[in-house]
Chains A and B, each alone.
Chain A
């Protein structure tokens, strides 16, 4: 390549920041785009921690066990070489965070402490108080600021990514972005673009995600030809507090510390919960799952809550609410063990969780699916080659994706405290890959004809103009509410094909209506309504990908649950028993049919769904999961 390469990173959570750091370390300058100052990114909401095996708790933990837990946690639906490499890299990444000054909680000896997290047996989660994500984000932010001080990073904060600029061959040569202060559209040249734009929680209306986690950026590149994988796999967290604006996560620790989940036995009981006697409380998790009680896995708890509210009509006050009760514990105990979390509940609800139950319900929490990215397998180690242009490259040449917006690592469900790890690791890998990619380029973006940039700019300006001057009747914010209601009604913790058909029909109607939107804000500065109107259109597109993927996948796997297709383990029967063997055969047949990655391709009339085999070279499934 004749000119010096340059890379654009879109998104400033830990994924984007790690990509930036890696690229700068290879002496390639970075333009970093973000909707807001990168320090405000959604990573700051991650509370629990980051998994990495140090084996410092006398439990003979091993990286292999972390790999196994991650693969099984994802119900085998993720390519395994990247998982292997990620788990192997995890201790190194966490050590680096430590060196960067993250305030990891310490043991009395002064080393990094590790806690137990859901879905695993060993204590391997490093954490910084109750705000691990915030701490990791700030450490990466600080390192990027150091790069900025050296003049190697230019930040474009309060800029919205609109699209990639493609040349005649469909190679990514830059981006179009909108300055959110004056709403002008600009194009920027780059030899590689990394998308690190996070999750898509707002497609479900309200979720545990930040208000900017719309998935719009991922949707935009999907509409430009990038394939989108495993969209239907969305993690629901069983204990989120209700809110008009957001469903705030109440940590799993509440259940871990003895929190009991219940509803009044009488439908529509309007009494103060503290006045309802024990005999009139329905502790449904304890009754249904006596072995685990309130500490059943996330997906089981979510579905039980859903069942009790939607099928049995026992939601508190007839609403989507169940109680999470810790008030049987002494205040001092709660303050010491869960103080930060309960204080947050009190701040945002105005109610006291020390004396009465908290009101919670499952909420969309994480998207395992995302932009389909590749990897270069290392045949010798069985992992991923550490530096290779194929790693985390999307199906658009020169466009990479990392963090929650990609589809790697988590398969059908994500292990707790693996998201900070995957965001960091994929950011690192994508950064390295983008530089490797630019080195192999014959022609840089500087050689790309101006017309590609001009036409993309014009296309984006026309979209803005059409919305601003539209005399339509549809309110973009109302459309979002309707989309959220639809998704929470039919594409939620429990799915069935009839409901999903309704969802698809509803989404198509919303899509049609979104063409008739009106933007109330007529200003030319900080026009958040315009920005939102564009995002809702893109969210509807991804909603269809999610719903259609769910409609077509006739099985239960990880977070995706259709009662109709559930394979139930025969009770009291174990390996060797003919009934169990019949079950096992069904399970195998189901894997033959469905153990494959959903790949959505954009088309005018909705997504085209294909399937792709999973790389199971590290740990192939041989027998069904059995927690008995």
Chain B
């Protein structure tokens, strides 16, 4: 009775789909991947300040190649901004009802939204405190010194009694948002289809979340409880030499 029309139904619909899928994807790649790296490298401080510093040096080698800023902007900040803006828009399409429907997935749906907000606020704080815009919002931003990573990070976190709890909340929110995000990602893209599979994968995601929460918190414990002075590291000559050779202007 009806004719088939197999063509696309118009640009706007396909575009909408792309944007939503982009939101879903950016949460895992690159943001999720970055989060894992970031937490793991931070956690090496548990093994000693030198290990942590070595990890930071390896990353900042890119700086000396002149590409770190590009990688940060293109690989992290732009995807993060896309994910955040689209995410806030998605927030507005729903109306949470967890008080009426206290099912597990609905609780996670609600948490996914609030942890998003917490994570976003935390990231802004974290970026200000450690890296950028310190001069714009005084006092006390831009604390992180790449060449003295463990010591400067510990000093920053210990600068106020508020900072450690903020970091704990922020890290836990980010990790939850990430782990649950994997779960919803797999559903949205049609990887896990049945309720049974989704249930099983849910445990895997929970495990991932617990592991990264532990990883993230472990570095915080060290950075909060260790005297910054003891975290001083001697600058590594070799890497410095390479940097000089490659970038005479430095």
Q: Is there a contact between chains A and B in the complex with CB atoms less than 8 Å apart?
A: yes
Binding site for B on A (CB under 8 A): 143, 146-147, 149-150
Chain B residue, CB-CB nearest to A146: B1
- How many Å lie between the Cα of A146 and that of B2 in the bound state? 7
Chain A residue, CB-CB nearest to B2: A146
Chain B residue, CB-CB nearest to A21: B1
Q: How far is the CB of A564 from chain B (nearest CB, A)?
A: 56
The 7 closest A-B pairs by CB, nearest first: A146-B1, A146-B2, A149-B2, A150-B1, A147-B1, A150-B2, A143-B1
B residues less than 8 Å from A150 (CB atoms): 1-2
B residues less than 8 Å from A143 (CB atoms): 1
- How many Å lie between the Cα of A146 and that of B3 in the bound state? 11
Chain A residue, CB-CB nearest to B1: A146
- How many Å lie between the Cα of A181 and that of B1 in the bound state? 32
Q: How far is the CB of A147 from chain B (nearest CB, A)?
A: 7
- How many Å lie between the Cα of A383 and that of B2 in the bound state? 34
Q: How far is the CB of B28 from chain A (nearest CB, A)?
A: 37
CB neighbors of A among B1-37 (8 A): 1-2
A residues less than 8 Å from B1 (CB atoms): 143, 146-147, 150
- How many Å lie between the Cα of A150 and that of B2 in the bound state? 8
Q: How far is the CB of B75 from chain A (nearest CB, A)?
A: 47
Interface flags, B45-79, vs A, CB<8A=1, else 0: 00000000000000000000000000000000000
A residues less than 8 Å from B2 (CB atoms): 146, 149-150
Q: Secondary structure of the B side of the interface?
A: loop
- How many Å lie between the Cα of A143 and that of B1 in the bound state? 8
- How many Å lie between the Cα of A149 and that of B1 in the bound state? 10
Q: List 7 A-B contacts (CB under 8 A).
A: A143-B1, A146-B1, A146-B2, A147-B1, A149-B2, A150-B1, A150-B2
B residues less than 8 Å from A146 (CB atoms): 1-2
B residues less than 8 Å from A149 (CB atoms): 2
- How many Å lie between the Cα of A488 and that of B1 in the bound state? 47
Chain B residue, CB-CB nearest to A143: B1
Q: How far is the CB of A180 from chain B (nearest CB, A)?
A: 30
- How many Å lie between the Cα of A253 and that of B181 in the bound state? 48
- How many Å lie between the Cα of A41 and that of B28 in the bound state? 48
Q: How far is the CB of A27 from chain B (nearest CB, A)?
A: 12
- How many Å lie between the Cα of A84 and that of B2 in the bound state? 34
Q: How far is the CB of A11 from chain B (nearest CB, A)?
A: 22
Q: How far is the CB of A506 from chain B (nearest CB, A)?
A: 50
Q: How far is the CB of B212 from chain A (nearest CB, A)?
A: 44
- How many Å lie between the Cα of A147 and that of B2 in the bound state? 9
Q: How far is the CB of A510 from chain B (nearest CB, A)?
A: 46
- How many Å lie between the Cα of A150 and that of B1 in the bound state? 8
Q: How far is the CB of A450 from chain B (nearest CB, A)?
A: 35
Q: How far is the CB of B9 from chain A (nearest CB, A)?
A: 15
- How many Å lie between the Cα of A146 and that of B1 in the bound state? 7
Q: How far is the CB of B1 from chain A (nearest CB, A)?
A: 5
Q: How far is the CB of A256 from chain B (nearest CB, A)?
A: 34
CB neighbors of A among B82-99 (8 A): none
- How many Å lie between the Cα of A286 and that of B186 in the bound state? 59
- How many Å lie between the Cα of A146 and that of B4 in the bound state? 12
Q: How far is the CB of A376 from chain B (nearest CB, A)?
A: 28
CB neighbors of A among B79-121 (8 A): none
- How many Å lie between the Cα of A143 and that of B2 in the bound state? 10
Interface flags, B218-248, vs A, CB<8A=1, else 0: 0000000000000000000000000000000
Q: How far is the CB of A25 from chain B (nearest CB, A)?
A: 8
- How many Å lie between the Cα of A149 and that of B2 in the bound state? 9
Interface flags, B159-202, vs A, CB<8A=1, else 0: 00000000000000000000000000000000000000000000
- How many Å lie between the Cα of A443 and that of B234 in the bound state? 106
Chain B residue, CB-CB nearest to A24: B1
Chain B residue, CB-CB nearest to A147: B1
Chain B residue, CB-CB nearest to A149: B2
- How many Å lie between the Cα of A147 and that of B1 in the bound state? 7
- How many Å lie between the Cα of A555 and that of B45 in the bound state? 99
Chain B residue, CB-CB nearest to A25: B1
Q: How far is the CB of B211 from chain A (nearest CB, A)?
A: 42
Q: How far is the CB of A342 from chain B (nearest CB, A)?
A: 24
Q: How far is the CB of B127 from chain A (nearest CB, A)?
A: 52
Q: How far is the CB of B88 from chain A (nearest CB, A)?
A: 36
Q: How far is the CB of B5 from chain A (nearest CB, A)?
A: 13
- How many Å lie between the Cα of A597 and that of B1 in the bound state? 41
Q: How far is the CB of B68 from chain A (nearest CB, A)?
A: 57
Q: How far is the CB of B106 from chain A (nearest CB, A)?
A: 25
- How many Å lie between the Cα of A377 and that of B165 in the bound state? 90
Q: How far is the CB of A202 from chain B (nearest CB, A)?
A: 36
B residues less than 8 Å from A147 (CB atoms): 1
- How many Å lie between the Cα of A115 and that of B248 in the bound state? 88
Q: How far is the CB of A141 from chain B (nearest CB, A)?
A: 14
Q: How far is the CB of A96 from chain B (nearest CB, A)?
A: 13
Q: How far is the CB of B3 from chain A (nearest CB, A)?
A: 10
Interface flags, B136-174, vs A, CB<8A=1, else 0: 000000000000000000000000000000000000000
Q: How far is the CB of A149 from chain B (nearest CB, A)?
A: 7
- How many Å lie between the Cα of A304 and that of B1 in the bound state? 51
Q: How far is the CB of B86 from chain A (nearest CB, A)?
A: 33
Q: How far is the CB of A140 from chain B (nearest CB, A)?
A: 13
